[in-house]
């Protein structure tokens, strides 16, 4: 599966994690369940999921491993979530769906384009309440803008209201969304108990630009980083630490969920790995102290129409390589030590590296790294790939940058990072 396939087949966080799990399984990784006690063998390859939308995959080089080499990316993207009471009262014989924004989206970008719905559904199955992924996978929904003749201000102000303007048109008939979902799953409607469905734009990822130098797709933030970390993780050689690929959900809504970075998921998994390898609590603490985290989430590239919004000197460009993110107020985890380690990783992997800082008078966003660090405090660096139109329905990034991050992560996951007794770090 290449990046385009991965993007096209991952319309929601649930599909992104399912596809990641499928790729890992095809590479010989064994699924573990959080509800069972783990017995792990030397040389084993494993993954565990939580909430069907977060995942940690790891390899065990040996039972007396040194530490954990971690990466983090997120599976979710801003979208519109469909309410349980899906159909709104008809207006002019048109029924629309009741939806609610998920995350900080560029609302206008979702208008005037075919949309569909996908997600997960709880059904009454043979073994009790079962979860099924569903993708209606057809041109189904549309959020029409108001014609310019009826709103001459549309190109000047054009503010949108989530309650009034974003409900997509669905049907002029009496069909229900639940009936469509039941049909897609081949189940009688009464067996559908609950749904978590999200809208997604009906477009495939594509290369564009005169030389195919750009990639345009929904959900590049953060599936591009997720995919690059996964590929690097799979390509890495064996070191003395446990390489662990982490995917969290709900970054776009603050991460405070059971499957978010602000949960016990990562610490639970690492403690269980150490316990299964016979490490005492003290030995586990020492292994954590020998660990490192690369928090990978896309970064704003210099916008050609608005270069003034970027910092004057630390403004990454598309196809300029992996972005190292800094913030004086530590919204990003990067510090001198972690930046030096990651810079050395990129130098050894022959990967171009560029720096990002917010314009000093603009507050930036925070991401996975600092959130995860509240639970597991290890040296961490915030990085990403440069992109434009972040949180729009379709985003744009540089074609060559994905390969750069894959090479960097392949070196990182296989390195023998060690914090020595005198405070120095060797790679
Ligand atoms: Co992101």
CA of 391 from ligand 1 middle (Å) equals 8
What SS3 state is found at 307?
helix
For the segment 295-341, what is each residue's pLDDT rounded down to a tens digit?
A: 999 999 999 999 999 999 999 999 999 999 999 888 899 999 999 99
Global confidence as pTM: 0.96
| Contacts with 283 (C-beta within 8 Å, 6 or more apart), sequence order | 274
In this structure, the dihedral spanned by the alpha carbons of residues 105, 366, 250 and 247, taken in order and rounded to 10 degrees, is 120
Cα(215)–Cα(9) distance, rounded to whole angstroms?
A: 16
CA of 163 from ligand 1 middle (Å) equals 25
- Give the Å distances, CA to CA, from 119 to 114, 188, 206, 207, 221: 17, 18, 23, 26, 18
Tokens of 176: 């229900």
Tokens of 250: 């709900």
CA of 192 from ligand 1 middle (Å) equals 32
For the segment 222-241, what is each residue's pLDDT rounded down to a tens digit?
A: 999 999 999 999 999 999 99
CA of 365 from ligand 1 middle (Å) equals 10
For residue 374, what pLDDT is reported?
A: 83
Contact call for residues 393 and 109 (beta carbons, < 8 A):
yes
Compute CA 177 distance to the chain's CA centroid, rounded to the nearest angstrom.
27
CA-atom Rg of the chain in angstroms: 22
| Contacts with 115 (C-beta within 8 Å, 6 or more apart), sequence order | 139, 140, 141, 142, 143, 168, 199, 200, 201, 202
For residue 369, what pLDDT is reported?
A: 83
CA of 359 from ligand 1 middle (Å) equals 19
The residue ranges of the chain whose pLDDT is under 50 are none
CA of 257 from ligand 1 middle (Å) equals 16
Cα–Cα–Cα angle for 276, 369, 389, rounded to 5 degrees? 130
Tokens of 418: 């060690």
Cα–Cα–Cα angle for 248, 253, 258, rounded to 5 degrees? 45
CA of 133 from ligand 1 middle (Å) equals 23
For residue 90, what pLDDT is reported?
A: 94
CA of 251 from ligand 1 middle (Å) equals 7
CA of 60 from ligand 1 middle (Å) equals 29
CA of 229 from ligand 1 middle (Å) equals 14
Residue pointed to by tokens 């999200």: 198
CA of 393 from ligand 1 middle (Å) equals 14
For residue 154, what pLDDT is reported?
A: 85
């Amino acid at each position: 599966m290449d990046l385009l396939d991965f993007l096209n087949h991952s319309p929601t966080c649930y599909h992104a994690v399912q596809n990641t799990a499928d790729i890992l399984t095809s590479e010989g990784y064994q699924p573990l369940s959080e509800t069972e006690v783990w017995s792990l063998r030397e040389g084993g390859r494993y993954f565990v999921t939580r909430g069907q939308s977060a995942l940690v995959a790891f390899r065990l080089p040996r039972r007396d491993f040194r530490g954990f080499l971690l990466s983090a990316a997120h599976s979710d993207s801003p979208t519109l979530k469909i309410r349980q009471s899906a159909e709104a009262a008809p207006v002019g014989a048109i029924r629309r769906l009741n939806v609610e924004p998920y995350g900080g989206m560029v609302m206008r970008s979702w208008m005037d384009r075919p949309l569909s719905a996908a997600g997960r559904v709880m059904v009454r199955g043979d073994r009790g309440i079962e979860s099924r992924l569903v993708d209606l996978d057809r041109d189904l929904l549309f959020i029409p803008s108001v014609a310019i003749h009826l709103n001459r201000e549309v190109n000047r102000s054009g503010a949108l209201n989530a309650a009034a303007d974003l409900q997509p048109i669905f049907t002029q008939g009496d069909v229900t969304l639940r009936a469509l979902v039941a049909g897609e799953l081949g189940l009688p409607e009464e067996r559908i108990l609950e749904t978590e469905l999200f809208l997604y734009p009906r477009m495939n990822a594509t290369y564009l630009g005169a030389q195919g130098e750009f990639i345009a797709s929904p959900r590049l933030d953060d599936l591009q980083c997720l995919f690059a970390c996964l590929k690097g993780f799979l390509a890495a050689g064996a070191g003395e630490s446990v390489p662990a690929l982490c995917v969290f959900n709900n970054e776009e809504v603050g991460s405070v969920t059971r499957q978010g970075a602000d949960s016990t998921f990562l610490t639970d998994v690492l403690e269980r790995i150490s316990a299964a390898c016979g490490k005492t609590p003290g030995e586990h603490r020492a292994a954590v102290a020998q660990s490192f985290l690369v928090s990978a989430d896309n970064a704003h590239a210099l916008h050609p129409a608005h270069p003034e919004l970027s910092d004057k000197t630390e403004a990454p460009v598309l196809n300029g390589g992996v972005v190292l993110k800094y913030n004086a107020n530590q919204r990003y985890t990067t510090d001198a030590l972690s930046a030096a380690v990651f810079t050395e990783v990129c130098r050894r992997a022959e990967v171009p590296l560029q720096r990002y800082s917010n314009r000093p008078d603009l507050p930036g966003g925070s991401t996975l790294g600092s959130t995860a660090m509240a639970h597991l405090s290890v040296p961490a660096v915030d990085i990403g790939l440069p992109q434009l139109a972040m949180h729009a329905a379709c985003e744009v990034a540089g074609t060559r940058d994905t390969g750069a991050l894959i090479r960097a992560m392949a070196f990182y996951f296989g390195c023998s990072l060690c914090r020595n007794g005198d405070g120095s770090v060797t790679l």
